[in-house]
Structure 1
Amino acid sequence: MKNALITASTKGMGRAIAIAFAKEGINLAVCSRNASDLDAFKSELSAINPNIKIVTSVTDVSIKQQLLDFAAAAEAQLGAIGIIVNNAGIYEYSSILDDADGTLEKHVNTNLAPAYELYRYFGKKMINACDGHIFNICSVASLSPIAEAGTYSVTKYALLGLNKVMRTEMQPHGIKVTAVIPGSTLTDSWKGTQVDKDKMVLPEDVASAIVNIYKMSSGANVDEIVITPTYGQI
């Protein structure tokens, strides 16, 4: 049975991805900063598939030691991690010139550094096992910057760059790396705003894409997948 680690797993895309993998019979290591959310989600996942193992961890992924402790606990309780989904991210509506002090560090530590650290932690282990698939949840801001979210755009550009480096390094070893690039997606980032969900990407759409990419033959890798709203960005 395969084991997957997903960061920021109780809401939005992370939640949908975890549910989709649970339905596929994949053991899960999930994290959140909120213990009660994790407990409730673990119960939900167990009801979806009582045959899988689920590891939960109260983790702030922007804090390196907490992230590495989560990785170690997942490995200790599940065994080798064959799937990593770097989903954690923050979005702040601000131009760079209007950023508060510390904004860059906060975005780097949440949107970029966790993917880098988990790659360093698990990468050579995946090579030794000749097995693994890393998914990095990027953004259309990785392709075209959003002026009203400048620092977010910078870190998402960097995450897509990291994804390309990962893929280049892992390709000779048969380890798959995929950048998932969604447009306007109905997550908590939109809480408090009036939006039409029928004109947005849903978290379940992203989860479906990831599961189907993961299930492709061993000889096929999706380097990047862009998923945008039918009617255009919101």
Structure 2
Amino acid sequence: MKTALITGATKGMGRAISLSLAHEGYHVIACARKQDDLLRLEKEIQEVNAGVKVYLRSCDFADPEQVRSLCVWLEREVEQVDVLINNVGLFVPGHFLDEDENALRQHMQVNVFAPHALSRTVTKSMKARSEGYVFTISSVAAREAVPSAASYSVTKSALAGLTNVIREELKQHGVKVTEIVPGSTLTSSWDGTTVPASEFILPEDIAKAVVSVLSMSEGANVDKIVVRPRRGQI
């Protein structure tokens, strides 16, 4: 059985991916900020598939020291990660001229620096084994700048670039890399909206995309998958 590491695992797309991979028989290393949420996810995973192992690791990805601690733990304690899902993300709306002066730095830490550090840590052993898979959960904002989410757009563009670099460096070593590019997805960032759920992408749609990619033949690599709401962005 293979092991998947999911960041931001307890909510939205991360939760859906965690449950879907557990259903497929993957052991799950779930990382998120709140221990209570992790324990709740562990119970949900065990209800989906009692035969998989669940490892919980609390980490505030906005804190560089906690990210470093997670990387050290992975290198020392985790024998093998077969699939890395760089899902954790920060979204704080704000226009370029109006947002807080620290907004870009804060977004960079969560949306770029954290997946950069985790990918460097995990892919070293993937390269040595000549196998493994890295997913980054990007956004359509990486390609179509959203003025009301300035720093978010900038950092998702950087994440897309990071994904391309990882893919190009590791493809000759048998490591596959896919960028998942969702549009408006019904997660907690849309709490309070009056838009019907039927107009959104659902977190389960993104989970299905990940499972589908993982089921492809050894020789196939999906560079990116773009998923948009049927009527366009909300």
Q: Do the two structures share a fold, i.e. TM-score over 0.5?
A: yes
* Residue 221 of structure 1, CA deviation: 0.5
* Residue 114 of structure 1, CA deviation: 1.1
AA partner of residue 96 (structure 1): F
AA partner of residue 179 (structure 2): A
Distance 2:74 2:127 in 1: 18
Mark the CA change 1:25 to 1:76 in structure 2 (over 3 Å): closer, same or farther: farther
Distance 1:28 1:67 in 2: 18
AA partner of residue 48 (structure 1): V
Q: Name whichever of 62-71 and 7-16 sits farther off.
A: 62-71
Specify the alignment match of 2:175 in structure 1.
Answer: 175
Specify the alignment match of 2:211 in structure 1.
Answer: 211
Query: Does the residue aligned with 1:94 lie in a helix, a strand or coil?
Result: coil
Distance 2:216 2:97 in 1: 44
Query: Does the residue aligned with 2:85 lie in a helix, a strand or coil?
Result: strand
AA partner of residue 225 (structure 1): I
2:85·2:135 contact (CA, 8 Å) conserved in 1? yes
Specify the alignment match of 1:109 in structure 2.
Answer: 109
* Residue 66 of structure 1, CA deviation: 1.7
* Residue 46 of structure 1, CA deviation: 1.1
1:5 to 2:13 alignment? no
1:114-171 Cα distance to aligned partner (Å, 9 max, x none): 1100111112211001111000000000111001111100000000000000110011
Specify the alignment match of 1:120 in structure 2.
Answer: 120
1:70 to 2:70 alignment? yes
1:53·1:78 contact (CA, 8 Å) conserved in 2? no
Specify the alignment match of 2:85 in structure 1.
Answer: 85
Q: TM-score, normalised by structure 1?
A: 0.96
Distance 2:66 2:216 in 1: 33
AA partner of residue 118 (structure 1): L
Q: Which runs of 5+ in 1 are unaligned?
A: none
1:98 to 2:98 alignment? yes
1:55 to 2:55 alignment? yes
* Residue 12 of structure 1, CA deviation: 0.2
Distance 2:82 2:142 in 1: 25
* Residue 77 of structure 1, CA deviation: 5.3
Specify the alignment match of 2:137 in structure 1.
Answer: 137
**Alignment size in residue pairs:** 234
Moved over 4 A (4+): 74-78
Query: Does the residue aligned with 1:5 lie in a helix, a strand or coil?
Result: strand
1:58-116 Cα distance to aligned partner (Å, 9 max, x none): 11012233223334445655520010000011111111110112111100001111110
Residue identity over aligned pairs, in percent, reads 40
AA partner of residue 95 (structure 1): H
Distance 1:78 1:109 in 2: 24
Specify the alignment match of 1:230 in structure 2.
Answer: 230
Q: Which runs of 5+ in 2 are unaligned?
A: none
Specify the alignment match of 2:163 in structure 1.
Answer: 163
Distance 1:71 1:22 in 2: 23
Mark the CA change 1:86 to 1:220 in structure 2 (over 3 Å): closer, same or farther: same
Q: TM-score, normalised by structure 2?
A: 0.96
Query: Does the residue aligned with 2:20 lie in a helix, a strand or coil?
Result: helix
